[in-house]
Amino acid sequence: MFCADCGRSLHRQRAERKKGPDVYWFHCLTNSRVAKDSCKGVMMQETEFIATVTAILEKELSVALGMSLPLFQLEAKQKKDKDRLKTQMSARRQETEKKRRLIRGLYENFVQGILTNEEYFELKADYEESIRTLSGEIEALEKDMDALDSRLVRCRAMEKDAKSLTQDHALTAELIDRLIERIEIDHERNIHVTFRFKSEFQGKAVEPCTKNM
Ligand SMILES: [Zn+2]
């Protein structure tokens, strides 16, 4: 949790009450510890903070899930995507084998004097270059395959989190840790939440549980 104004982390402080339970406040210590008037200052009671973050999180998760495929459809799509990758990989493996056979054939031709020394090495280098390209492509396809697996794991987890949040309306430390990267509060007590599931999903070749995959 950070102060949106100065960027420093917020301090959690207990305020004792004679009647009733103690209350907790989050506040920015910059003005008192670093320099006076160097921050607009942030102060927020913990109960208000938790209620607001829970509401934000519920909304974000339901939006994310609203855009997402139901799990059973996702699993079917997962299988299709994996089959496609497997086909592409096996085609490249076969192609690699073919090039290897061609290299062996070249050597035969070279020994029998059908190819000159120069022709032999030139053709061999060509085939070897194709094999390197193919093996790079296979590696990339394997990575896509792994990304598909972790996508399903993330989507399952997200659905579980959304369920537990909407059922219990309780923000657990585990949920916060898994879903939230950073929280900023400004001097008007606006809360800005950076979600892990969003930053994690951005810029990946394999999209998360969304319909437009
Ligand atoms: Zn501050």
| The predicted structure's pLDDT at residue 39 | 93
Say whether pLDDT at 21 is over 70.
yes
187: nearest Cα among 6, 18, 51: 6
State the distance from the centre of ligand 1 to the C-alpha of 40, rounded, in angstroms: 6
Ligand 1: distance of its center to the CA of 59 in Å?
27
From 62-71, 171-180, 202-211, the region with the lowest mean pLDDT: 202-211
Whole-number Å distance, alpha carbon 22 to ligand 1 midpoint, is: 24
- Distance of alpha carbon 130 from alpha carbon 118, whole angstroms: 19
Q: Is residue 12 part of a domain?
A: yes
CA of 37 to the centre of ligand 1 (A): 10
Whether residue 100 lies inside any domain: the answer is no
Q: Is position 87 within any domain?
A: yes
Residue 116 lies inside a defined structural domain of this protein: no
> What is the total count of domains within the chain?
1
Separation of CA 36 and ligand 1 centre (Å): 11
- Domain enclosing residue 13, as ranges: 1-93+146-213
- Asked whether residue 159 carries a pLDDT value surpassing 60, the answer given is yes
Token pair of 129, please? Answer: 């270059």
Asked whether residue 177 is domain-assigned, the answer is: yes
In a domain, 29, yes or no: yes
Going from the Cα of 11 to the center of ligand 1, the distance in angstroms, rounded, reads 10
Long-range residue pairs from 121-130, CB within 8 A, at least 24 positions apart, any chain: 127/99, 127/100, 127/102, 127/103, 128/99, 128/103, 130/95, 130/99
Above 50 in pLDDT, residue 34?
yes
Q: Is residue 203 part of a domain?
A: yes
pLDDT higher than 50, residue 168: yes
189 CA to middle of ligand 1, Å?
Answer: 12
Distance 198 CA to ligand 1 centre (A): 26
87 CA distance to ligand 1 centroid (A)?
A: 55
Does residue 32 lie within any of the structural domains?
yes
| pLDDT tens column, 119-139 | 999 999 999 999 999 999 999
Ligand 1 centroid vs 188 CA: distance in angstroms? 12
Provide the CA 110 distance to its chain's centre, in angstroms. Answer: 52
